Amino acid sequence: MEIERKFLVAEVPELERADADEVEQGYLATGADGEVRLRRLGDRELLTVKLGSGLSREEAEIELSGDQFEALWPLTEGRRLRKRRHTIAAGDLEIELDVFEGPHEGLALAEVEFDSEEQARGFRPPSWFGDEVTGDDAYLNESLAVAGAPP
């Protein structure tokens, strides 16, 4: 189970000390029930299935071999995105700050994962977070990959 809140970020904070990875994502299937995606995260290649929407979603992820990833990647044509993911410590939590590239350049989203819905509801975002977009389908990565960034 993934419990996560997502926020727009208008001004990206100083990231000199944050760990970062390049991310390429492509979607094999998207829809109201969930998504099936491929992700290249640093040197890892993953297949992920997410079901549901909103604050809590079911998630399963498996690592793929390079050959498996390359065999499936062409099936994501037209449903891809690129971003740089920065990991920022925030007390006991981690903020994943995604700064998008390519056609999504200028968009930055912060995601925070939690151990429980209670912990998620009690979270007070830092001042550099903008509007919360948790549950807003327009800001799901799958929507961004298919329809582009909202205006």
Interval 68-94: pLDDT, tens: 999 999 999 999 999 999 999 999 999
Sole residue written with tokens 């995606």:
37
The model carries a pTM of 0.91
Which pLDDT tens digit goes with each residue over 7-53? Answer: 999 889 888 878 899 999 999 999 888 999 999 998 999 999 999 88
Distance CA 50, CA 76 (A): 16
Q: Which of 5, 9, 27, 100 is catalytic?
A: 27
Which pLDDT tens digit goes with each residue over 88-132? Answer: 999 999 999 999 999 999 999 999 999 999 999 999 999 999 999
Does 139 participate in catalysis according to the annotation? no
- Residue ranges and CATH numbers for the domains of the chain are 2-146 (2.40.320.10)
Residue-level pLDDT at 5: 97
CB-facing half-sphere around the CA of 12: CA atoms within 13 A: 19
Angle at the Cα of 147 (from 108 to 63), degrees rounded to 5? 70
Residue-level pLDDT at 39: 97
